[in-house]
Structure 1
Amino acid sequence: MTTTPRTSHSPATVLVANRGEIALRIIRTLKRMGIGSVAVHTDADAGAPHTLAADLALRVDGYLDSGAIVAAALESGASMVHPGYGFLSENAGFARACAGAGLVFVGPPASAIEAMGDKIRAKDTVAAAGVPVLGGFAEKPGQPLDDDALLHAAAETGYPLLLKPSAGGGGKGMRAVHSPDDLVAAAAAARREALASFGDPTLLVERLVRRPRHIEVQVLADGHGNVVHLGERECSLQRRHQKVVEEAPSPLLTAAQREAMGGAAVAAARSCGYTGAGTVEFIAEASGGDGEPELSFSFLEMNTRLQVEHPVTEEVVAIRGGRGIDLVELQVRIALGDPLPFGQEDVSWQGHAVESRIYAEDADRGFLPTGGPVLALSEPSGARVDSGVAAGGEVTSAFDPMLAKVITWGPDRAEALRRMDAALGAYVLLGCVTNTAFLRRLLRHPRVAAGDLSTDLIETDPPEPAPGALPEHVYAAAALDHQLDLEPGGAGPSADRFATPDGWRMGGPAWTPWRLRAPRHDSAVVRVRRDGAAGAPGAYLVRVDDGAPVAATARRSADGSCLTVTHAGRTRTYARADDPATGHRWLGAGGTAWTLHEEPVAAALRDDDAAVDGTVRSPMPGTVLAVPVEVGQAVLAGTPLAVVEAMKMEHSVPSPFDGTVTGVAVRPGASVPMDAPLVTVEPVRAEPADAPPDPSVPTPATREEHTP
């Protein structure tokens, strides 16, 4: 069965071949345009926000099953398919399959996807059009360079180098290499991740720019020969080569530099016969002393789709003086055959916009992916939030860790950043650790405030770390929250005043002790008692550990979702939720969320510095990719014991000390939760001074030989 593409003058229905926040964002525009929307979903997403938002939703086995998605489009009566970003958005075969079925693909032609989708071919194509490119070398598809050839080519290019998968983007598989000693191992890891992520291990190797800035230009091209650029976005704040914060315009570029970079982006789009919305990415280097810096830039890649960070462009672009555009609407109209409704001379820019990506990750543990239930969600009302999650949902390791995007606009950069700080402070998600508090610290970094950005800033000049100790007000609030459970009408098991352990006595109130622990923090004993002198309901005295008693009040909202506490003269309102799966209680305020669980008062404090038992556990929920050790094998501190992948991130789990592997609990392909046992290592025991050396244990000389 096939359908006939409709013109822009007849009704249309669009199937959105994606999920999460981008699917919702596309559906929102389609509804405003009066165009029908169809969602696809897996079993896990049957109740997801994007599934519920569409006019019709159809089940598929997976978002990468192009045949099933084309069949769903035909079944639904859709005439168009919008791929969003990720998944099949840059898959030329999918674009051809849509065209073959009579469906309009909302994106560029398959030939342009192929030309720009392979980094090696893309580099050759744009270089022929006069776009500047970086020096380097490339492997041929299916013919990886052997170690000697790789080392020779690298020596000719010169270190440092950046290894990149030719077939994909998003920072996946990229490795920086600073010396020949690291090259072979880094290339093997990059090929493995490239094969897993994109099905192609071919590598492109380029000169690594020191302190680079990542600047990209939004382009639009119609089917009538018109190509324009909409200015640039600064995307230099990255971790693991993936963007964290983006802004428009760049604080670096002058008007003349913007015109030069925009012209190069237009040339790149024309070189491959592009139509639709696309992004040309550049690596930029600024040099020079006082005054206007000199700028050199080189082509990085072209993304033949909508970008995650497209909202900042939408917020600042002004067409004939009217601020704000909708790139999804323009994509759809171009796909329907309409010409661009404006030319380059009609484009200007107003104000400044910033976007922060909310990730399910623990920034204080090396940005490891997290997960869990969305017990409660509070989003800022004074900012644009493109979100893909809702309370009651679940964050799993099956998809990318990005949950939402917060976007703010201001008349200038300083005001946009101020509004972003306020918006992040109002964003609270309970049940899953996110990077929101880290984002606030990052945006307060002096270099970020000054616009002195580079892609290695987070790695080499990180923002202030999170406080080492949990704030006293959080322990106090958690104890008061538990105390409210014991009040008459609370969650306590009994209304009998003599049977309720809340410290009530005939002669007056007594202290009720609570021992509370938060992950990676010492436990605290918090004592609470009613403040008889205050005489007001909800009035207490609180002592955290051995501190002095502090007057406090506490009350919950009618629905129990908020806790308002006055402690040490300051009033704070916390979002609160209980996780029925673990029994842990979550509190959140100011963009930070904490999970605190009650421990028996008589329980011994855990000594986090005690000798470990040798059980090495998974630092995140995910899938085991490799276990390169076996029982009986001698290992050194730092030796990889297992490789775990989650949310498109590969993490090597090292041995904590020299020793011998005594147990392997998992096999490649196994799904593991966080803290699941992986490998057990028996540490090397100290030998008596006169004892002969054990030949099975690596000697110091052997360790030196294996030290990178």
Structure 2
Amino acid sequence: MFDTVLIANRGEIAVRVIRTVQALGLRAVAVYSDPDRTAPHVALADEAVHIGPAAASHSYLSIEKIIDACRTTGAQAVHPGYGFLSENAAFAQALADADLTFIGPPVGAITAMGDKISAKELAVAADAPIVPGVYRPGMTDEELIAEADGVGYPLMVKAAAGGGGKGMRIVSQPGELQEMITAARREAMGGFGDDTMMLERYVEQPRHIEIQILADGHGTTLWVGERECSLQRRHQKVIEECPSPVLSQGVRVAMGEAAVRIAREVGYEGAGTVEFITNSEASEFFFLEMNTRLQVEHPVTEEVYRLDLVEQQIRVAAGERLSLRQEELLPSGHAVEARLYAEDPARGFLPTGGQVVRFDVPEHAGLGTIGPTGVRVDAGVQTGNAVTADYDPMVAKLTTYGPDRAQALARLDRALARTVLFGFPTNIGFLRDLIALDAVSSGDLHTGLIEEMAVGTSGSDAPPEEVLAAVALATVARRQRALPTSFDPFDIPGGWRVGEPSWTRWPLRPVGATAITDVFVRVTRDGMEVRIADGAPSTAQVRLADGQLVVEYLPGGHLSGRFAYALTMDDAQAWIGRDGRAWLIKEEGLAAGAGSGPGGGDGALVAPMPGSVAAISAVVGDSVESGQTLVVVEAMKMEHPLKAPFDGTVVAVHVEAGEQVGMEAPLVDVEPHE
């Protein structure tokens, strides 16, 4: 067994791997880029090595720098986590050439399964069913278009390399095909350096189910149950669970045995995942692809099967035999995982990011393992860290376990409600809305459910009026508490006057909104009174301490009830949250967060998030049609096309391809035709 392992990754997976490495009595070495100097994985490791600037191509994707870090620290083995170099055959080979152990599968398996075309061929050889399609390598656009009718619509244009939903487009009719091929090729080349495309039949309302594989170098290959990963948006998983709520035991066993045959066919070793799609009732299944690495959603399998999959990876890489037998791998209970993303569901899941102002996990949650309340947290950030556009927008995962699916989902809802993440818009509130759907609670899932239900994506997540009232009340309470022991009554911010107290106006604006809401507060003998604009007043008792705000309204007013909030505020703004939702509220006169937005009525297209200009097709003087793509902005590994808001003429182009742009930076101006 080697004694030092370098983790060639960052974020929550680096933290998760470091914990197991250290639990096995081994030294853990972290690597980090400039923005990750204070990241949790750096602090947790026994040693950490700086490997470059924020850009992954010059840090986490630099094979030479990773190997140099191994030499510097004496690491004899490398765990790649997932993403970055985890499925890079050249990386695995470079480690072997440097006499370093790759904690992953053989180079040949990575190469074979890294290309979806050869993977399909291996699946056929292993007698596993595949989706009808065209899988020849090196096909031109013209050849793909010529074959499309034979595949049938709807179909999927899919990159032969890579994974994670990149380089994939669903095509409903022939007229869309060329544009989708072009977009998929560009995204695949940017993400994987390979724009080879294939076509396959799109199974409507499919379920995405994957089988966990474990294999050693001594001839033992096992399958460790399945994970249901059907809740996705833009082909990116959002909620995963184990076991699937719909799979019959017969189909489960058939799928597991097919996965084992595929793994043996490719000579697999270590932990991997064979992915399948099924029809809506999961009565038949088709091989999709094999991920030659650990999956993001592996914790649900660990909790249901009481295994540490990273430990198994390390032991296999060290040459040990698996100590498990297939008949011993029996599920117990149910686990569900939710991915916490820095994104704005109300704006089409656009990536966000910024400094983490505050991050509180649910009380009694276990870190990297299920805690006493059935909650596990795997986090890659902490208060004070930055989430940047250089990396994937996932910041943490919540996994809950229960004796059955209903209890696991209920615990997940409670855990999300008790999670506080301030600093940028997140999907926490959206996740609560999603798991509250009848289709989710009943297990009637498919990969298009989120788009079909449009859950959490219609309009902005505007704060209710009691949230605005709470901010104004907290502002007064905070400023009262700051007064010295002896003070002039006229200094009281609640409007103290001789005789009846007067109202103090607090003009508040939720960031992202254009409208100002006037909230009025005054201090009385009974507590504080608050009213929204010209509405009726309400009397409230206010308690503010340790980042928590409790507002209780007395009977008879416009507002009623008792509200508990998480609150982080200064003189200029307040982050306030409740039940998994969070809002940033500013006073009037500070920088407004609103812009015209992409496709705005004034014809000014602006960047919807920080990122880079992936492509630009607009030229000054061009006549364009409504809905025509003019600019593509790439952020956090996703492309976002910006389209002309109306028929018009391009009058200004402010950017060039490859240029870095900030939030709401001007891109293109269009004037409507007269």
Q: Is the 8 A contact 2:595 2:664 kept in 1?
A: no
- Which deviates more from structure 2 when the two are superposed, residues 496-505 or residues 295-304? 496-505
Q: Distance in 2 between matches of 1:93 and 1:115?
A: 13
1:597 equivalent in structure 2: 586
Quote how far apart the aligned CAs of 1:490 are.
5.5
Query: 1:417-468 CA deviation, whole Å, 9 max, x = no partner?
Result: 0000000001111111100000000001110110000001111123365786
Quote how far apart the aligned CAs of 1:56 are.
0.3
Verify: 1:309 aligned to 2:297, yes or no.
yes
Quote how far apart the aligned CAs of 1:577 are.
2.3
Query: 1:431-450 alignment to 2 at 5 Å?
Result: 431-450=423-442
Query: 1:287-323 CA deviation, whole Å, 9 max, x = no partner?
Result: 5xxxxxx611010000000000000000101xxxxxx
Q: Is the 8 A contact 2:251 2:284 kept in 1?
A: no
> 1:338/1:606 Cα in 2 relative to 1: closer, same or farther (>3 Å)?
closer
1:295 equivalent in structure 2: 283
2:366 equivalent in structure 1: none
Query: 1:656-695 alignment to 2 at 5 Å?
Result: 656-685=645-674
Q: Distance in 2 between matches of 1:138 and 1:255?
A: 31
Correspondent of 1:575 among 555, 560, 566: 566
Verify: 1:146 aligned to 2:128, yes or no.
no
Q: Distance in 1 between matches of 2:459 and 2:596?
A: 22
> 1:351/1:503 Cα in 2 relative to 1: closer, same or farther (>3 Å)?
same
Verify: 1:181 aligned to 2:169, yes or no.
no
2:551 equivalent in structure 1: 565
1:50 equivalent in structure 2: 41
| CA RMSD of superposed structures (Å) | 2.2
Verify: 1:528 aligned to 2:521, yes or no.
yes
Q: Distance in 1 between matches of 2:573 and 2:16?
A: 33
Q: Distance in 2 between matches of 1:445 and 1:645?
A: 31
1:420 equivalent in structure 2: 412
- Which deviates more from structure 2 when the two are superposed, residues 354-363 or residues 638-647? 638-647
Q: Distance in 2 between matches of 1:625 and 1:579?
A: 38
Quote how far apart the aligned CAs of 1:612 are.
4.4
Q: Distance in 1 between matches of 2:101 and 2:217?
A: 13
Query: 1:26-41 alignment to 2 at 5 Å?
Result: 26-41=17-32
Verify: 1:81 aligned to 2:78, yes or no.
yes
Query: 1:399-418 CA deviation, whole Å, 9 max, x = no partner?
Result: 00111000000100000000
Q: Which amino acid aligns with 1:222?
A: D
SS of 2:321 mapped into structure 1: coil
SS of 1:342 mapped into structure 2: coil
Verify: 1:408 aligned to 2:405, yes or no.
no
1:429 equivalent in structure 2: 421
Quote how far apart the aligned CAs of 1:499 are.
4.8
Quote how far apart the aligned CAs of 1:175 are.
0.2
Quote how far apart the aligned CAs of 1:613 are.
3.8
Q: Is the 8 A contact 2:542 2:552 kept in 1?
A: yes
Verify: 1:475 aligned to 2:493, yes or no.
no
Q: Distance in 1 between matches of 2:219 and 2:657?
A: 51
1:103 equivalent in structure 2: 100
2:337 equivalent in structure 1: 355
Query: 1:481-523 CA deviation, whole Å, 9 max, x = no partner?
Result: 22224315169xx965435653111223211111111134443
Query: 1:321-378 CA deviation, whole Å, 9 max, x = no partner?
Result: xxx1100011101111111111101110011100000000001110000011100111
Q: Is the 8 A contact 1:489 1:495 kept in 2?
A: no
> 1:453/1:607 Cα in 2 relative to 1: closer, same or farther (>3 Å)?
closer
SS of 2:319 mapped into structure 1: coil
Q: Distance in 2 between matches of 1:226 and 1:336?
A: 15
Q: Is the 8 A contact 2:276 2:285 kept in 1?
A: yes
1:543 equivalent in structure 2: 531
- Which deviates more from structure 2 when the two are superposed, residues 617-626 or residues 234-243? 617-626
Verify: 1:91 aligned to 2:88, yes or no.
yes
Q: Distance in 2 between matches of 1:613 and 1:235?
A: 41
Larger CA Rg, structure 1 vs 2: 1
Correspondent of 2:641 among 637, 647, 652: 652
> 1:392/1:14 Cα in 2 relative to 1: closer, same or farther (>3 Å)?
same
Quote how far apart the aligned CAs of 1:573 are.
2.7
Correspondent of 1:642 among 614, 631, 636: 631
Q: Is the 8 A contact 2:141 2:181 kept in 1?
A: no
Q: Distance in 2 between matches of 1:606 and 1:599?
A: 16
Q: Is the 8 A contact 1:106 1:335 kept in 2?
A: yes
State the number of aligned residues.
647
> 1:71/1:156 Cα in 2 relative to 1: closer, same or farther (>3 Å)?
same
Query: 1:213-612 alignment to 2 at 5 Å?
Result: 213-287=207-281, 295-317=283-305, 324-381=306-363, 382=373, 383-463=375-455, 469-489=462-482, 496-499=488-491, 501-521=493-513, 522-532=515-525, 534=526, 539-558=527-546, 561-567=547-553, 568-578=559-569, 583-599=572-588, 612=601
Q: Which amino acid aligns with 1:308?
A: V
Verify: 1:619 aligned to 2:614, yes or no.
no
Query: 1:620-660 CA deviation, whole Å, 9 max, x = no partner?
Result: 11111122111122222222221100000100111222222
Q: Distance in 1 between matches of 2:388 and 2:44?
A: 21
Task: Name the TM-score, length of structure 2 as normaliser.
Answer: 0.93
Q: Distance in 2 between matches of 1:616 and 1:467?
A: 19
Verify: 1:112 aligned to 2:109, yes or no.
yes
| Amino-acid identity (%) | 51
Q: Is the 8 A contact 1:139 1:145 kept in 2?
A: no
